[in-house]
């Protein structure tokens, strides 16, 4: 009976079924909130790029670049971390040569960005080394406590390590003070300290009670 009814009315029922099926399809598909495939791909790529860039930038900011010269096996420019020491830079440069004079090197000194680390050879006259080479032993280091008298630092006798104990005097300025002595002779007065580049009136006022030239 059903088959006969279908044969009789199929021309009327078939279009209706197709219309109802189409409406159901569009109705349920409207609830699909999944993002298009292209958007998913772009999101994944953007996430990967962000994760890649951040560590690279962090690594760059944490680098300290130093120039190692003198009596090392492989002089050159090397990248280190801020917490590393002079000895780490020397090791990167292959270590010392057989004629290196290392007795006054401060291997425990932390590296600084743009630092020049100069390793002299045995018998080398350190007075000939530019004062910009701040990480190096100096002839003044052998004088020990002669650089301090009555609690004051003697500008004409103090070594680099003693000079850096003064307020506002870092390794670079300490080497500049030593270079001034080597090029111009002794400081005649404590006011002569202001002739050093980077030491102005304000710095001098902080230092004047802590220094002497006698």
DSSP 80: E
pLDDT for the residue numbered 141:
38
Share above pLDDT 90 across residues of the chain, in percent, rounded to a whole number: 17
d(CA 188, CA 40): 75
pLDDT for the residue numbered 92:
94
Tell me, rounded to whole angstroms, the distance of Cα 52 from its chain centroid: 20
pLDDT for the residue numbered 173:
87
Residue 94 has pLDDT above 80, yes or no: yes
Half-sphere exposure (Cβ direction) of 128: Cα atoms closer than 13 Å: 7
Among 3.40.50.1970, 1.10.1060.10, 3.90.1150.10, 3.10.20.600, name the CATH number for the domain at 62-131: 3.10.20.600
pLDDT band at 126 (very low <50, low <70, confident <90, very high): low
166-186, pLDDT tens digit by residue? 878 888 888 889 989 988 889
Strands, E assignment, 59-202: 64-70, 76-80, 115-119, 148-149, 152-154
pLDDT for the residue numbered 144:
44
Between 39-53, 73-87, 152-166, 170-184, the lowest mean confidence (pLDDT) is in: 39-53
d(CA 192, CA 168): 16
CA torsion through residues 125, 131, 134, 138, sign: positive
The mean pLDDT value for 57-71 works out to 74
Share above pLDDT 70 across residues of the chain, in percent, rounded to a whole number: 61
Residue 1 has pLDDT above 90, yes or no: no
pLDDT for the residue numbered 131:
47
Superfamily (CATH) of domain 138-214? AF1531-like domain (1.10.150.280)
Domain positions in the chain: 62-131, 138-214
φ/ψ of residue 111, rounded to 5 = -75, 150
d(CA 67, CA 75): 8
130-157, pLDDT tens digit by residue? 544 555 543 333 344 567 777 788 999 8
Between 47-51, 101-105, 140-144, 201-205, the lowest mean confidence (pLDDT) is in: 140-144
pLDDT for the residue numbered 93:
94
pLDDT for the residue numbered 149:
73
Global pTM value: 0.39
Residue 23 has pLDDT above 50, yes or no: yes
CB 90 within 8 A of CB 107: yes
pLDDT for the residue numbered 120:
83
pLDDT for the residue numbered 142:
36
């Amino acid at each position: 009976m059903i088959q006969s009814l279908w044969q009789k009315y199929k021309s009327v029922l078939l279009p209706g079924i197709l219309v109802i099926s189409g409406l159901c399809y569009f109705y349920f598909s409207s609830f699909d909130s999944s993002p298009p495939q292209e958007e998913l791909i772009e999101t994944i790529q953007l996430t990967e790029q962000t994760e890649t860039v951040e560590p690279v930038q962090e690594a760059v900011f944490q680098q300290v670049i130093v120039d190692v010269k003198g009596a090392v096996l492989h002089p050159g420019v090397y990248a280190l971390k801020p917490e590393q020491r002079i000895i780490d830079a020397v090791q990167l440069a292959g270590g010392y040569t057989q004629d290196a004079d290392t007795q006054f090197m401060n291997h425990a000194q932390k590296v600084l960005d743009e630092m020049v680390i100069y390793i002299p050879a045995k018998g080398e006259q350190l007075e000939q080394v530019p004062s910009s080479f701040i990480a190096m032993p100096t002839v003044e280091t052998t004088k020990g406590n002669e650089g301090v008298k009555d609690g004051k630092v003697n500008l004409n006798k103090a070594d680099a390590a003693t000079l850096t104990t003064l307020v506002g005097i870092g390794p670079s300025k300490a080497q500049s003070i030593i270079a001034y002595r080597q090029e111009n002779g002794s400081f005649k007065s404590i006011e002569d300290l202001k002739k050093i580049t980077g030491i102005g009136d304000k710095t001098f006022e902080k230092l004047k009670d802590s220094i002497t030239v006698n």
